[in-house]
Structure 1
């Protein structure tokens, strides 16, 4: 059912650039309706607007000086995007969506993919989709694996992708990718050919869901609409741009409990997806390649830095997923005392990393790994988990305890 919140968030998606922390903060403080009124300039933007903010604990704790920064930043955005605000017609947009069997999902909806909330201040304002919307309920972290890599795929990359994806889908894992040439296309095609079950595959677009891109993959994308899902955080009618490909990579990582990089050059966009996954505390794996192959340089780079583990078959991923999403057995029975209250229960590994964190002066990742006796990848993942529990802080200079 369409609500005022749907219309408001559709306007925000149409006007604002994705992953803008100030827009998300404005939505949190003022709500989507008032935020949309400000962006469309139906409501005058004055300093007194913040008196209408939502009185949550988080909002009350924002210092006046920071509120001034938010005010200035939002004012700049309203002015910068003023030409867009006059071209917004949500009634027309939703009518167009109806002709495409497209739909708009927002955080207020019960079927909103909650994994996207892990992106925090960079989460999407809403998601346009095509396909059977009820399948969103099957898009969960324990059952979703991102498979990404080079567009200029090799025969080895094709075989490796088909081999691993085929086995994953047979075990009812959903394959998340970007609908592009190369590894993406092979991953989607393999998933669709193996099964048409609950949700074989999902493609995240860097353009409107009404504009299948690339054009050469139009048949594949239409098959995804029929059997899986096509999703995008940008409004209908938008064409893909270079920066939108990078922006959508964070959505691929956020929606997946595991990210697999099959082939990636030294500066591949797939590494961008891997970095997003690591920052979210998700597991990352790479398929090793020929040591002289440029298409595997990025994968080997992740492995050398101990940011990803080597994957040679689907069972490597399944074992990691089962370990990560099975209730922890190594939880300490006695909560740790911090001197300023109790910590939440931590696993043995989490406890080791927390003990290695300094109280005040932030320490770099390498120092924390050295102190805890863990490898870099495990330390980074564990720090993300501790941050999610609210007991670790990621600062520019490194990491420290938050309590």
Structure 2
């Protein structure tokens, strides 16, 4: 994908700023952009201008009307205000351009049509690094699973990813340790085997693999996968909705999973523990109307417990060999978009973020609201920070952060040190 010139148009500048201003999944922000355009939305969301009556009517068509919209708008302004004065979209665009990347926006011809299936949960833009071109969703197979992959899981993942690339599909995953890494590596190996002159040369897709990350693309995360992610970038694409310098957090990882699901025509879960990000991705895919395939494993393996749960409780298909994984993709691989949006997609973000609880894997953060999770993740462990810094990191208003800190302290997840706060072990 060619990086845009560092002197961008107004829409690209505005969307670059918006990716830093709002957190993923902020539906009111997305609805405002859809109703009024990115440049006007930026002026309103940052508080530089006031929402006019005619604009409120347009926004009501997207976000609903009545007193609820007024309350949502007031809460949004308070939530966005801490970051509004710190935006420098031109700097962010130049930073990515210098390392061979850029920002893909819905106004571009290359914008993936399948992302429209996300509705109000769609990303405001996609930062990218790499020279490849995104395939249509019907040509992309997501392969996801546990970070604690077993030898069995890695073997199955390699077979599925390799078969997909040799059949002309692109493998989409999240760049993480375990199954994700095995999927990317197998896709890269298969692409190398298919280079002209190789005995098995066939007709591979435009890019063999795409990694969708949860943080800024100016650094590779996880650090132990830097070499692999560089290889993905050289052969395919790295994508993120987060701007340069943004840290990957649990909240952002969970929202990242909806992009993996939306960009793919089908999702294969190879291994997943009872609670896992892979199940989260499967939930998004099902809500979007994508096919989900699940690989069974030994009943004694914790790494397959989540797979077996999906097979018991969700409308998924059992995958017993690599060919069955490819059968999940829509028949017309030349189609321009995904299989289509289901009626449940409007409820998908909240439902998919709610991971199943299990007594043997309870976490201190279980049961936290979205606001509590954002503040908890913004709190450093080794040093205390002031509340103003937390409002910027969490993207929440000062009153909200203060109230949340009190609740986290009661749960033993935060402690006050003089006038500053830090996270506790919980």
TM category (shorter chain) comes to 0.7 to 0.9
Structure 1 pair 103–326 and aligned structure 2 pair: CA distance change class (3 A): closer
Q: Distance in 1 between matches of 2:39 and 2:340?
A: 36
Distance 1:240 1:64 in 2: 34
SS at match of 2:239: strand
1:132–1:228 Cα contact (<8 Å) kept: yes
2:353 corresponds in structure 1 to: none
Aligned to 1:41: 47
Query: What residue number does 2:55 align with?
Result: 52
Is 1:145 the counterpart of 2:141? The answer is: yes
Whole-angstrom distance in 2 between the partners of 1:60 and 1:147:
37
Once residues 186 and 244 of structure 2 are traced to their aligned partners in structure 1, the CA distance between those partners, rounded to angstroms, is: 28
8 Å CA contact retained: 1:285, 1:310: yes
Q: Give the secondary-structure state (helix, strand or coil) at the position aligned to 2:220.
A: coil
- C-alpha separation in 1, matches of 2:46 and 2:64: 27
| Alpha-carbon distance, 1:278 to partner | 0.2
2:64, 2:82 → 1: CA distance? 32
CA distances 1:244-281 after superposition (whole Å, capped 9, x unpaired): 11010000000111100000011111000000000000
Superposed displacement of residue 385, structure 1: 4.5
Partner of 2:152: 156
Segments of structure 1 that go 5 or more residues without pairing to the other structure are: 328-381, 397-403
Query: How is 1:82-93 mapped onto 2 (pairs within 5 angstroms)?
Result: 82-93=81-92
- 8 Å contact 1:31–1:54 — kept in the other structure? no
Q: TM-score, normalised by structure 1?
A: 0.76
Aligned-partner Cα distance in 2 for 1:248–1:235: 13
Query: Which residue of 2 is the match for residue 368 of structure 1?
Result: none
Equivalent-residue separation in structure 1 for 2:65 and 2:77 (angstroms)? 21
Equivalent residue number for residue 236 of structure 2: 228
Distance of aligned partners of 1:114 and 1:53 in 2 relative to their CA distance in 1, 3 Å threshold: farther
Specify whether residues 235 and 62 from structure 1 end up closer, same or farther in structure 2 by C-alpha distance, changes over 3 A only.
closer
Aligned residue for 2:71?
72
RMSD: 2.6
Further displaced range: 78-87 or 217-226:
78-87
Matched, 1:192 2:188: yes
Partner Cα distance (2:99, 2:190) in 1:
27
Deviation at 1:387, TM superposition (A): 7.1
Distance (whole Å) between structure 2 residues aligned to residue 61 and residue 141 of structure 1: 26
> Does the 8 Å CA contact 1:165/1:187 hold for their aligned counterparts?
yes
TM superposition shift of 1:317: 2.4
Q: What residue in structure 1 maps to residue 35 of structure 2?
A: 29
Q: TM-score, normalised by structure 2?
A: 0.72
Change in CA separation of 1:84 and 1:326 when aligned onto 2, cut-off 3 Å: closer
Greater RCO (CA < 8 Å, at least 6 residues apart): 2
Q: Which moved more, 1:311-320 or 1:256-265?
A: 311-320
Q: Secondary structure of the residue that 1:176 maps to in structure 2?
A: strand
Q: Does 1:307 align with 2:307?
A: no
Instruction: Give the alignment partner of residue 165 of structure 2, picking from 154, 164, 169.
Output: 169
SS, match of residue 292 in structure 1 = coil
1:275-324 deviation per Cα after TM superposition (whole angstroms, max 9, x unaligned): 00000000001111001111101101111125211112221122332547
Following the alignment from structure 1 to structure 2, what is the Cα–Cα distance between the partners of residues 178 and 383?
A: 22
